[in-house]
Copies of this chain bind each other. A is one copy, B any other.
Amino acid sequence: MSRFISREAGRLEPYIPGEQPMDMQYIKLNTNESPFPPSPKVVKAVSRSELLKLNLYSDPTCDQLVRAIAHRYELRPEQVLAGNGSDELLSFAFRAFCGEGKGVAFPDVSYGFYKVWAAFYGVEAKVIPLKADFTIDVDDYMDYSGTILLANPNALTGEELPAAQIQRLLEADQNRVVIVDEAYVDFGGESCVPLLCRYDNLLVVQTFSKSRNLAGGRLGFALGAPDLIADLNRVKYSFNPYNVNRLSILAGAAAMEDEAYFKNCTAAIQKTRDWTAKALEELDFTVLPSKANFIFAASKSFPNGELYRKLKENGILVRWFDQDRIRDFYRITIGSAEQMEQMVEAIKKLLGEM
């Protein structure tokens, strides 16, 4: 840190993204990307004539993209906000709905960025432990009066919380916002989007990075009552109004309109996920039941990061978190069927060498 840094910035605890090593070509199963290219409609939408318009600002309202999202989810455009990745929108939501006297509660094992944003905005975080089986008990959140933030399916574990449980939280106190981070919902989870017509204290955040094959386009979206979206816009226009570039607006709209491709990709990943979970269980792994595009698995043969290190030596990257409760687990992205077969083979080989 320089001698100029502000006290607030000095107190930050930055997020550490999954590694992107350049030393060799890895099978990358560490950042939950899709193994499939974007929809052919995306490639078509980012045309030469559109590239020639890059001298003009993007539409700060992202109208074309917002309409495509609203149409897909049967909502009105005023219920949709697009962002530079769902990370940006979650950050905006922290500013909009948390602050002095209004903290935020989230699980101890979840997306690691939640505590980083709490520090960024100086918001009091109530970190609530998952149950022993790594599931969320909504009763633990029932009396909390601040904002509630749940990833569903949960980041890291992949476990699903039934929408009816989240509905209980929405119902119990209609003066608090419940933010549901549905980054992974399209791989078999139950979305809270149908609850939006009944609860104006619900904010759903989704991303194009996983099920829409556009991690490199940096696109996310928030869905909620028009008043909540207006609050988020208030933050956006106080931070970076032109937050989504022209090409990502086009790519996102095209991806959102290609429902068939979306269904094919997400179905293939679910099939490969279930195969991978079964293969690892046969190798005596504990695999948490996942509704995401990754699995969270542990093995007595590979404690404390050992599998991460050994697989990396073999050209395969998975993610390991040096964190209490989950130090023996590995978060493994579901890639193509072939990639997962290669990983299972590599693990068998490692087990054979022991």
Contact of B12 with A238 in the complex, beta carbons under 8 Å: yes
Q: Which residues of B contact A147 (CB under 8 A)?
A: 4
Contact of B7 with A101 in the complex, beta carbons under 8 Å: yes
Give the secondary structure class of A's interface.
loop
Contact of B95 with A216 in the complex, beta carbons under 8 Å: no
A 83-108 binary contact with B (CB < 8 Å = 1; else 0): 01101100100011111111000000
Contact of A235 with B56 in the complex, beta carbons under 8 Å: no
A 230-244 binary contact with B (CB < 8 Å = 1; else 0): 110111111111111
Copies of this protein in the complex: 2
CA–CA, A9 to B218, complex, Å?
25
CA–CA, A22 to B28, complex, Å?
44
Contact of B57 with A239 in the complex, beta carbons under 8 Å: no
Which of B8, B55, B237 is A216 in contact with, Cβ under 8 Å? B55
Contact of B242 with A218 in the complex, beta carbons under 8 Å: yes
Interface size on A, residues (CB 8 A): 91
Give the residues from 1 to 29 in chain A that come closer than 8 angstroms, CB to CB, to chain B. Answer: 1-9, 12-17, 20, 28
Instruction: Name the residue in A20, A57, A102, A248 with the highest tally of chain B Cβ atoms < 10 Å from its Cβ.
Output: A57
CA–CA, A15 to B240, complex, Å?
9
- Chain B nearest CB, measured from A207 CB (Å): 11
Q: Which residues of B contact A48 (CB under 8 A)?
A: 43
- Chain B nearest CB, measured from A72 CB (Å): 19
- A residues apposed to B, CB below 8 Å: 1-9, 12-17, 20, 28, 31, 33-38, 42-43, 46, 48, 51-60, 84-85, 87-88, 91, 95-102, 116-117, 119-121, 147, 175-177, 200-201, 209, 213-218, 225, 227-228, 230-231, 233-248, 251
